[in-house]
Amino acid sequence: MAIYQNTGIKETATTKTGSAQEPESQSTLRSSLPDKPVVLNEAGDSSPVIYLRELWIYRELLYFLTWRDIKVRYKQTAMGAAWAVIQPLFAMLLFALFFGLWIRVPSDGMPYLVFFYCGLLPWTFFANAVSQSSQSLILNSNLITKVYFPRAIIPAASIGAALVDLLIASVILVGLALYYGLGTTWSVLMLPALVVLAVLFSLGCGICIAALTAKYRDIRHALPFVLQLWMFLTPIIYPLSVVPAKWRWLVLLNPLAGIVEGMRAALVGRGIDWSAISISVVMTFASLVVAAYVFRRIERGLADLI
């Protein structure tokens, strides 16, 4: 008989064991079990190949999360997906006015509107993708703590949503190319490859920063400043040719520099700087390797962190 003094009620607890006395081993095992079931919801140790196979298995979830992010972003907005065009369009007009007409920044013979938009298009995609993916794990904490799936899908979905914005905003670039009679050479076929390179670099940075933000919340405060500084280190408002030759290699360590310059050269039919593209490719895959290592280290205890 067990008496609970805090309620003033006497209750009797009886247990039917099916026998008068349990064996000692069963009694010890029963006493060591927790009162409630324990569910371990975390990533196990697996090789990168197995993890990539898991990502492929959960590809349908990636699609649904991407579509969800797109709908949430433009839900109850008067202009809808037009906001994907407004940001780079107005930035292009301001840059063309201040840095083009007034300051007369060199543009390597390109029309100022095309010159600035070729720089703003990949940069806007990268900045939005990294900013949105950085908070993605924290915002989806309820989903992470309830069921297991490869957590990298969540920041990847944010980058997929930003890719849709990039494709919509590319309509302006197509219109500018037609207006100025650009994009008439075979080099324009390099543009899709450069977009893929920008997506992969954004994926590496987004996944890495998302994991670090989940563990170190200070990053979300520093990220806007870092992106603003990063923008001026990318040849968006100036061509790479104005950078002194002895310092140019430092600028090219930024993969976006090779991507921006490659898009400009491909659009006007100018000779493509393959050394710059090669550096961008190497740095992009290096970012993916670092992101995979950092994310796998943090993912194991992610449910506890958020």
Asked if residue 119 lies in contact with residue 260, where contact means CB atoms within 8 angstroms, the answer is yes
Q: What is the average per-residue pLDDT within 79-88?
A: 82
Q: Give strand pairing partners of 4.
A: 9
Residues recorded for the chain: 306
Asked if residue 300 lies in contact with residue 213, where contact means CB atoms within 8 angstroms, the answer is no
Q: Give the range among 73-82, 191-200, 204-213 with minimum mean pLDDT.
A: 73-82
Asked if residue 214 lies in contact with residue 137, where contact means CB atoms within 8 angstroms, the answer is yes
What are the residue boundaries of the structural domains of the chain, listed by start?
46-305
Q: Give the range among 7-21, 47-61, 185-199, 286-300 with minimum mean pLDDT.
A: 7-21
> Residue 65 burial (CB < 10 Å; 0-12/13-18/19+)?
buried
Asked if residue 284 lies in contact with residue 197, where contact means CB atoms within 8 angstroms, the answer is yes
CA separation, residue 104 to residues 99, 100, 107, 174 (Å): 6, 5, 9, 25
Q: Give the range among 64-68, 73-77, 83-87 with minimum mean pLDDT.
A: 73-77
**pTM, two decimal places:** 0.81
Higher pLDDT residue, 263 or 1?
263
Asked if residue 207 lies in contact with residue 213, where contact means CB atoms within 8 angstroms, the answer is no
State pLDDT tens for residues 272-296.
889 999 999 999 999 999 998 898 8
Residue matched to tokens 């100036």: 238
> Using N-to-C axis directions, what is the helix angle for 274-299 and 48-57, rounded to 10°?
90
Residue matched to tokens 């995609």: 125
Alpha helices, DSSP H, located in 106-218: 112-134, 136-139, 141-144, 153-180, 190-215
Longest dimension (CA), the chain: 97
Q: Which of 65-74, 82-91, 197-206 has the highest mean pLDDT?
A: 197-206
Determine the residue type at 23.
Answer: P
